[in-house]
């Protein structure tokens, strides 16, 4: 199992030498997945709230589709976005294929259902305990959504972290849509795939360890922020 | 209630429009960079990392390389998603030009394929004749890993089997493993299974997880592996950066570009041999 020892050494070297291209790759990973999470949150949270609160006949079908879409295969999303963004596709004129914008689009499609479905559940639960209070105040739908989103904000933060985790960890979609172009669309997961195919398994594993560490740090920071905010509130 | 929901929905539409606008503003294309769809062998052997900075210094043009199998790389060009294709499957390249997807095929360089296999060579395939080597693998029912991904190397492998008078790809015996993967992934698989496979020399030389594998057959003139470069037809795809793409092709076949290709070495061994014919 010397490959694990080699990987540890490689990870240490990567960090110590503060490899410039590794820095770019890591930043791009963060930028693409954070942007996708932000857009997915702006789309998914209202959508989740709507499904939670609506009396529409579309509620049940939407709910089933959302829940099922949490399992969208990244490679299929990648392929569909590739065909859309291709110069021969309907969104070709945008020129987004093989750019970070295209990668953001793919990851947004991938995680919006996750954020919407989990937010729906969270808001449903919160609404159950607040419904009578809302009725007594006679709040409008928009006011209800805003209040629920605020009251459930800590649980929703976990929902966003789940979406972000899925985005930054996937390789299938960004590989196809981004093209893994060195210095342009290469992110951590595609680098890991590339180093694996070059047979440099210790380096690939070291990059994997760094990716996991990065996600850990982000989750740790979110947890710390939550505790801090709760303390502030008293 | 209905009215309120409608306002929520229209807000959503506005939001999406604003976001799409913001993203597209961030990523407007520049004319000083071109996209080249190429093969994994040129990228993973490190050739592009070596060549492209020199080309950029000479012309100021940045090249973005998407590395795929030859079949897929040509398809990217066919869809208009690259300005130049740089691949190694002459029949497929000529078809690409004949159907009007590309302007003209220009030969740039060659290297060679090698038959890789277990160090102890259980099929006794070692030699200088690829047909004889494959026949020995076939007779010995030794495990063989095929790319199976419509790449240039896959096309070459099928051609060599055919020249040996054998067709394991259609017979599908259990020792013939169609992996549908790139060169590196196929090498990893072969290393783990201690199997034979056909590889391009460049990727093999740069490959680090060799385990028990070594070169079994090399030096047969049949193993010649020609690379060609083609400008994607700007008449078919008007957005193709024909001017910058042409500059890249011209540089590759110029004395300077050809010398740069020939000077790329790993461990003292030359990987690609320039042979542009005007």
Tens of pLDDT, residues A68-104: 999 999 999 999 999 999 999 999 999 999 999 999 9
Candidates A103, A139, A179, partner chain B, best to mutate (most B CBs within 10 A): A179
Q: What is the pLDDT of residue B135?
A: 97
Inside any domain, residue B21: no
Inside any domain, residue A109: yes
Inside any domain, residue B15: no
Cα–Cα distance for residue pair A61/A82, rounded to 1 Å: 27
What is the number of structural domains in chain B?
A: 2
Whether B5 sits inside 8 A of A141 (CB atoms) is yes
Inside any domain, residue A194: no
**pLDDT confidence tier of residue B119, bands split at 50, 70 and 90:** very high
The answer, yes or no, to whether residue A66 has pLDDT greater than 80, is yes
- Reduce the DSSP state of residue B156 to 3 states and report it: helix
Inside any domain, residue B8: no
Inside any domain, residue A48: yes
Inside any domain, residue B177: yes
Residue A132's domain comprises 22-187
What is the average per-residue pLDDT within B158-186? 94
Residue A100: closest C-alpha in chain B: B27
Lowest mean pLDDT among B102-106, B198-202, B267-271, B274-278: B274-278
What is the number of structural domains in chain A?
A: 1
Inside any domain, residue B16: no
Inside any domain, residue A193: no
Whether B79 sits inside 8 A of A86 (CB atoms) is yes
Is A21 in the B-facing interface, judged by CB distances under 8 Å?
A: no
Arithmetic mean of pLDDT over chain B: 90
User: Measuring CA to CA, how many Å separate B250 from each of A198, B58, B96?
Assistant: 30, 12, 20
Whether B24 sits inside 8 A of A96 (CB atoms) is yes
- In the stretch 55-94 of chain A, residues with CB closer than 8 A to chain B read 55-56, 86-89, 92, 94
B104 and B43 housed in the same domain: yes
More confident residue, B79 or B5: B79
The reported pTM is 0.85
DSSP B165: T
Cα–Cα distance for residue pair B204/B197, rounded to 1 Å: 11
B118 and B218 housed in the same domain: yes
Which residues of B fall within a CB distance of 8 Å from A181? 35, 64-66
B101 and B232 housed in the same domain: yes
Q: What is the pLDDT of residue A1?
A: 55
Lowest mean pLDDT among B25-29, B76-80, B273-277: B25-29
Q: How many CB atoms lie within 10 A of CB A208?
A: 18
Cα–Cα distance for residue pair B153/B187, rounded to 1 Å: 12
The answer, yes or no, to whether residue B24 has pLDDT greater than 60, is no
B120 and B219 housed in the same domain: yes
Cα–Cα distance for residue pair A102/A77, rounded to 1 Å: 12
DSSP secondary structure, A31-52, as one string: HHHHHHHHHHHHHHHHHHHHHH
B243: nearest Cα among B252, B256, B232? B232
- Closest approach of B165 to chain A, Cα-based (Å): 31
Inside any domain, residue A56: yes
Q: Which CATH number characterizes residue A55's domain? A: 1.10.3720.10
What is the average per-residue pLDDT within B184-192? 94
B236 and B106 housed in the same domain: yes
Which residues of A fall within a CB distance of 8 Å from B7? 142
Cα–Cα distance for residue pair B210/A14, rounded to 1 Å: 23
DSSP B127: B
Inside any domain, residue A196: no
Whether A87 sits inside 8 A of B1 (CB atoms) is no
Inside any domain, residue B12: no
Residue B181's domain comprises 112-223
Contact of B204 with B187, CB cutoff 8 Å? yes
Q: Which residue has the tokens 């930043």?
A: A27
Q: What is the pLDDT of residue B72?
A: 93
Q: What is the pLDDT of residue B90?
A: 93
ipTM (interface pTM):
0.81
């Amino acid at each position: 199992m010397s490959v694990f020892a080699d990987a540890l050494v490689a990870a240490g070297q990567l960090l110590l030498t503060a490899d410039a291209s590794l820095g770019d790759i890591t930043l791009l990973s963060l930028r693409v997945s954070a942007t996708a999470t932000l857009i997915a949150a702006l789309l998914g949270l209202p959508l989740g709230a709507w499904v939670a609160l609506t009396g529409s006949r579309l509620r049940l079908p939407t709910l089933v589709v959302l829940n099922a879409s949490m399992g969208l295969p990244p490679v299929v999303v990648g392929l569909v976005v590739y065909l859309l963004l291709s110069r021969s596709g309907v969104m070709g004129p945008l020129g987004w294929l093989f750019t970070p914008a295209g990668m953001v689009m793919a990851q947004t499609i991938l995680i919006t259902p996750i954020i919407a479905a989990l937010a729906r559940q969270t808001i449903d639960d919160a609404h159950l305990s607040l419904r009578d209070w809302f009725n007594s105040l006679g709040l409008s739908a928009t006011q209800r959504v805003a209040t629920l989103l605020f009251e459930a904000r800590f649980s929703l933060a976990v929902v966003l972290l789940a979406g972000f985790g899925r985005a930054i960890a996937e390789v299938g979609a960004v590989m196809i849509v981004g093209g893994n172009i060195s210095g342009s669309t290469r992110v951590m997961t595609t680098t890991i795939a590339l180093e694996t195919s070059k047979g440099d398994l210790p380096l690939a594993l070291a990059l994997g360890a760094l990716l996991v560490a990065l996600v850990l740090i982000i989750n740790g920071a979110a947890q710390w922020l939550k505790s801090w905010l709760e303390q502030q509130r008293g | 209630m209905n009215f309120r929901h409608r306002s929520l929905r229209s807000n959503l539409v506005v939001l999406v429009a604003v976001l799409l606008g913001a993203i597209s503003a961030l990523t407007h294309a520049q004319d000083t960079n071109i996209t080249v769809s190429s093969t994994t062998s040129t990228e993973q052997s490190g050739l592009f990392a070596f060549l492209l900075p020199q080309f950029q210094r000479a012309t100021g043009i940045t090249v973005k390389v998407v590395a795929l199998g030859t079949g897929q790389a040509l398809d990217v060009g066919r869809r208009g998603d690259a300005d130049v294709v740089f691949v190694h499957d002459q029949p497929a390249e000529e078809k690409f030009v004949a159907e009007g997807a590309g302007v003209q095929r220009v030969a740039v360089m060659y290297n060679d394929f090698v038959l890789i296999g277990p160090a102890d060579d259980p099929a006794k395939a070692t030699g200088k004749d690829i047909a004889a080597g494959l026949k020995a693998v076939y007779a010995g029912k030794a495990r063989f890993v095929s790319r199976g991904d419509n790449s240039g190397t896959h096309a070459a492998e099928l051609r060599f089997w055919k020249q040996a008078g054998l067709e394991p790809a259609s017979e599908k015996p259990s020792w013939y493993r169609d992996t549908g993967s790139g060169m590196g992934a196929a090498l990893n698989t072969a290393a783990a299974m201690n199997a034979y496979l056909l590889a391009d020399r460049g990727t093999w030389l740069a490959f680090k997880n060799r385990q028990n594998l070594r070169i079994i057959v090399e030096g047969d003139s049949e193993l010649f592996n020609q690379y060609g470069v083609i400008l994607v037809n700007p008449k078919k795809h008007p957005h193709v950066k024909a001017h910058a793409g042409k500059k890249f092709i011209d540089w590759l076949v110029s004395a300077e570009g050809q010398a740069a290709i020939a000077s790329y070495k790993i461990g003292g061994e030359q990987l690609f041999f320039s042979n542009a014919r005007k």
